[in-house]
Amino acid sequence: MLERRQIQRVVDLALDEDAPFGDLTSQTLVPPTAVARAELVAREPGVLAGAEVFEIAMTTLDPTVKVTLEAADGEAFGRGSVLARVEGPARSVLQAERVALNLVQRMSGIATLTRTYVEAVAGTAARVVDTRKTTPGLRALERHAVRCGGGHNHRYSLSDAVMAKDNHLAVIPDVTAALRQARIDLPHTTHIEVEVDRLEQIDAVLESGAAHTIMLDNFSLDDLRAGVAKIAGRALVEASGGVTLDTIADIARTGVDVISVGALTHSVRALDLGLDMSVS
């Protein structure tokens, strides 16, 4: 789950980046007694992610700013929906506005895109997961947004699991022996995944008896089906590489267990949300 400390770290860095010496415009032009009332409004339909992030971003600079959330993470909304209401000192609201919007717009964009991928594989057993192709420093937020869209998370970091990819295998002289030794050396709780890019590589991985998941990278549909048949339940089967909305349904129907989609985070468009404000 996304923890407040993770959110606060990102928000603090973003606020400091955006106004290292304060908001010169608001401090110069906006009266210190002015009060702002604002609504977070959807300019297009989508799925919300980052409600708490928005609230923390709006209130960190000034705890007297009040945020009322009108929608929850994972909730679908239509164009014109009011997702949150904000009230407080105008200078504080204006200084926090862009950071709060940037984060909630990106997270909601990820959640919305993820929902479309998840809906595309409905009726199959395939699980849609993200990858480590996240924005540096924003991984916790982006991974949370994927879950808000109904997707699942892959390993969080390099420290979470063994995942032998093509560049690892290129420098391992005996893959079967290396994987067997890994099972001996690692705790029994450690997950081992191995990426292959050709059908003939599967046998060496299976022979080790060590892999929990075998990733079939950039396989054709026919080869995916053949790979699923060859593995025959002895490991989870993950499909990866160039997955799009046009191809994911066909990939899911090959019988794979997991489909990893880097585009959920590395190619997403921020959702169009706006903060409509009045000042008194």
Tens digit of each residue's pLDDT (9 = 90 or more) over 17-51: 999 999 999 999 999 999 999 999 999 999 999 99
Q: What angle do CA 111, 114, 116 make, to 5 degrees?
A: 115
pLDDT at 61 over 80: yes
Looking at the domain that runs over 119-266, which CATH code has it been given?
3.20.20.70
What's the pLDDT score for residue 129?
98
What's the pLDDT score for residue 191?
97
* Binding residue numbers: 98, 131-133, 155, 165, 195, 217, 240-242, 261-263
pLDDT at 192 over 90: yes
Mean pLDDT in residue range 95-105 = 98
And the tokens for 24?
């010169």
What's the pLDDT score for residue 169?
85
pLDDT at 1 over 80: no
Q: How many residues does the chain have?
A: 280
pLDDT category of residue 279 using cuts at 50, 70 and 90 = confident
As to burial, measured by CB atoms within 10 angstroms (0-12 exposed, 13-18 middle, 19+ buried), residue 272 is: middle
Tell me whether strands 213-217 and 236-240 are parallel, antiparallel or unpaired: parallel
Q: Does domain 4-110+269-279 have CATH number 3.40.50.300?
A: no
pLDDT at 220 over 80: yes
Mean pLDDT in residue range 246-258 = 98
Where along the chain do the CATH 3.20.20.70 domains lie?
119-266
pLDDT at 263 over 80: yes
Where along the chain do the CATH 3.90.1170.20 domains lie?
4-110+269-279
Beta bridge pairs of residue 168: none
By annotation, the residues acting in catalysis are 98, 133, 165, 195, 217
pLDDT at 185 over 80: yes
What's the pLDDT score for residue 164?
95
pLDDT at 280 over 90: no
End-to-end CA distance of the chain: 39
What tens digit of pLDDT does each residue of 135-171 get?
A: 999 999 999 999 999 999 999 999 999 999 988 988 8
* Binding residue numbers for substrate: 98, 131-133, 155, 165, 195, 217, 240-242, 261-263
